[in-house]
Amino acid sequence: MWYGSSTMNIQNTISRRSFLGFMAAAPLAAAMPDLKQIPVGLELYSVRDELKKDLMGTVRGVAKMGYQGVEFFAPYYAWTPEYAKQVRAELDDLAIQCYSTHNGLQSFTPEGVGKAIELNKILGTRYVVLAHPGKVSTLDDWKRVAETLNKANDTLQGQGLHAGYHNHDLEWNLVEGQKPIELLAATLDKSILLQLDVGTCVATGNDPVAWINRNPGRIRSIHVKDWSPATGYKVMTGEGAAPWKKIFAAAENTGGIEYYLIEQEGSEYSEMETVRRCLELFRKLHG
């Protein structure tokens, strides 16, 4: 199981989407945990090799370390509903949650969103996150990505879910004089999660604190991934260039953070030992 409308019609569509986004965001904001109790989960890509060998055992090991939740990545989409129910039963037994999933574009198409909804509702997730936009080279390509997400989000909201967008370095690089990440923030419905990958933001010379503050209430999930000029992403939490204290303050005072997700792309230690150490480092950093 390893993984041609008139102007009035356009305005009506936008108004409806804005209204739905406002109504959907209200209960999410009300349900946000106390800032001192924001849960910390693990992006399971961090232990991808272990997950291939033994998914259930890996999830149990992660829970034992003290992680409060997980984020499954794209191969989960190949699961059957029956297997997703087994995974959910394991999560419930461990008293941890699946906050969100990472997905390819297929999960946001009219043909594929139904399966994404079914699996994510079984898992109990909040957000169905687009992890990569596919082949994009122009601003028009990026606008189409935003349109796809907005349409899918309308469908997801009807099922108690929301779309999300996860950035990599691609979104921070100029295209026709504009950063795609800024186009997305301006174009996507406000109820769509902007999941900040800190490492890629820092690696491209951008300021994660300024980004959070420019998008109040929308940075509801953060990938706690560091970056170092010397070793790239193969650096432990807090040992790179990211200004974590300032990031936490911005996320919790402005960003609307609901949960943190530690992500690690490798170190001198094994995958499981790496994420264990990263959780300890996070706790020391965050307090």
pLDDT of 247 over the 80 cut: yes
Non-local CB neighbours of 241 within 8 Å, separated by 6+ positions: 202, 226, 227, 228, 229
Is the four-CA dihedral 62, 67, 71, 76 of positive or negative sign?
Answer: positive
Rounded alpha-carbon distances, angstroms, from residue 268 to 42, 129, 144: 19, 30, 40
Rounded alpha-carbon distances, angstroms, from residue 132 to 107, 180, 263: 11, 13, 16
Task: Work out the mean pLDDT of the chain and round it to a whole number.
Answer: 90
pLDDT of 194 over the 60 cut: yes
In tens, the pLDDT along 66-119 reads 999 999 999 999 999 999 999 999 999 999 999 999 999 999 999 999 999 999
pLDDT of residue 8: 29
pLDDT of residue 37: 86
User: SS3 of 70, please?
Assistant: strand
pLDDT of 153 over the 80 cut: yes
Non-local CB neighbours of 85 within 8 Å, separated by 6+ positions: 122
pLDDT of residue 36: 56
φ/ψ bin of 200: left (φ > 0), alpha (ψ from -120 to 50), beta (otherwise):
alpha
Among candidates 256, 262, 257, which has minimal Cα distance to 282?
A: 262
Q: What's the whole-number mean pLDDT along residues 230-239?
A: 96
Q: How confident is the model at residue 16 (pLDDT cuts 50, 70, 90)?
A: very low
Q: What's the whole-number mean pLDDT along residues 166-175?
A: 97
Q: What angle do CA 199, 3, 261 make, to 5 degrees?
A: 30
pLDDT of 204 over the 90 cut: yes
Under 8 Å between Cβ of 226 and 267: no
Calculate the CA 206 to chain-centre distance: 19
Angstrom distance (rounded) from CA 187 to CA 179? 13
Calculate the CA 37 to chain-centre distance: 19
Which domains does the chain show, CATH number per domain? 7-286 (3.20.20.150)
